[in-house]
Amino acid sequence: MDRRSMIRSLASAGLTMPGILSELLYAEDNPLSPKDPHFTPKAKRVIFLFMTGGVSHVDTFDHKPELNARHDQQRQNRQFYKGTGWKFHPRGSSGLEISELFPYLGEIADELTVINSMKNINGDHFGATIGIHTGSATFNRPSFGSWVSYGLGTVNQNLPSFVVMSKGLPYGGGQNWGSDFIPVSHQGTRLVPGNEPIRNIQPQPITKRQQKTELDLIDYFNKQHLKGRESDSNLKSRIRSFETAAGMQLEAPDALDLSGETADTLKLYGLKPGETNSFAWQCLAARRLAERGVRFIELVDGDTALDYNWDAHANISKYPELARNVDQPIAALIKDLKQRGMLDETLVVFTTEFGRGPCVPSAGTDGRGHWANAYSSWIAGGGIRGGTVYGKTDEFGLQVVENECSPHDFHATLLNCLGIDHKRLTYRHAGRDYRLTDVHGDVITDILS
């Protein structure tokens, strides 16, 4: 008899009862258990849509007729105004102006609050991307999703509290969903769209009872090893990962299996039967994960390695293709959530790292450069007053002239919708209390319902 068979036999005979011993002798608080918010929340979860590369605000959500009127005219310092090649139309009963690049989003314009006064803390892709995710462009810090997981936990212990679906990597890679000094249990779990979003998720060819016996034994020995090392958060999180992995074998395959969705639902998202690697698949999978209690779901559009993203230095003419890839699925996600009565409890956030410059170095230039001084984001769902525009840039989209919104203000507002006071969500590290918004951030009360 080999070692594994012996241990399995002992466990089956009831001689070790590891699960019971583990609970009785080494019980500890589950870092992912649900936690009460600071006050009654409007939203319970977040679906965070990140567009890699820097989406041009003046071509999408910030209409600038004067910029168009001065197209190719010289400004100063050898700069030329560059108008947009796409028309804007007032949409919905609110009259929200949205570029023709997003006809489907136009259909749900009354659900959106567009913030046209975003200003990031860095003009480099890496710093700006990490900045909008963590609040810091210079130091490693826990991501927004990790803070939400830490602050609220999750209602489904069989799935991660924080899931990231990313076909490719954004600038900054996994640091954007890392937990840094917060316990590793709260970092994002990445799923890669395709035939196998989670590797090795299928159970081994043994019975569920046998697998439970093995996992209980592992848990028992892990808890023995933890004795005397209770302060090691990485070890605790590693042990917890076995439990999460086992739970995911039970629920994740079903959550990511779209075969049971109706033809009408697939059509709504623009999704072909059997398709698994598109942004539309990510959006529908996000709704299914949200239904199953996942607290924070991030969807990343774009792949820096393949140069397929919103980075348009020399080729802004690729925007129609990029917009088509996300427009219908995102609008469908919001419609679907609303139809199911989930939108009022879900924050849907659309953002990017920065905008694109309204001026270019020479007339006729096809692309636009980085522009962190002003850009657009939007929010829909729980706690947000839809059909609203917040903030304003000048007549060319160069600078914010009204109600500037920093990443800290953005994060503080989103946390507020989740019932969290951003000043009270802290974690003690290296002798001081840290928070997502550092020493900054104001809740944008004007956009709250």
Residues 122-168: tens digit of each pLDDT: 999 999 999 999 999 988 999 999 999 999 999 998 999 999 999 98
Chunked mean pLDDT (size 10), the chain, 449 residues: 57 43 46 93 98 98 97 89 96 97 98 98 95 94 98 93 94 95 94 78 63 73 74 65 64 87 97 94 97 97 88 92 97 98 98 96 92 98 96 97 98 98 96 95 97
SS3 of the chain: CCHHHHHHHHHHCCCCCHHHHHHHHCCCCCCCCCCCCCCCCCCCEEEEEEECCCCCHHHCCCCCHHHHHCCCCECCCCCEECCCCCCEEEECCCCEEEECCCHHHHHCHHHEEEEEEECCCCCCHHHHHHHHHHCCCCCCCCCHHHHHHHHHCCCCCCCCCEEEEECCCCCCHHHHHCCCCCCHHHCCEEECCCCCCCCCCCCCCCCHHHHHHHHHHHHHHHHHHHCCCCCCHHHHHHHHHHHHHHHHHHHHHHHCCHHHCCHHHHHHHCCCCCCCCCHHHHHHHHHHHHHCCCCEEEEEECECCCCECCCCCCCHHHHHHHHHHHHHHHHHHHHHHHHCCCHHHEEEEEEECCEECCEECCCCCCCCCEECCCEEEEEEECCECCCEEECEECCCCCCEEECCECHHHHHHHHHHHCCCCCCCCEEEECCEEEECCCCCCCCCHHHEC
**pTM for the structure as a whole:** 0.88
> What are the tens digits of pLDDT across the range 98-126?
999 999 999 999 999 999 999 998 999 99
> All domains of the chain, ordered by start, with CATH?
1-30+205-254 (no CATH), 32-197+256-447 (3.40.720.10)
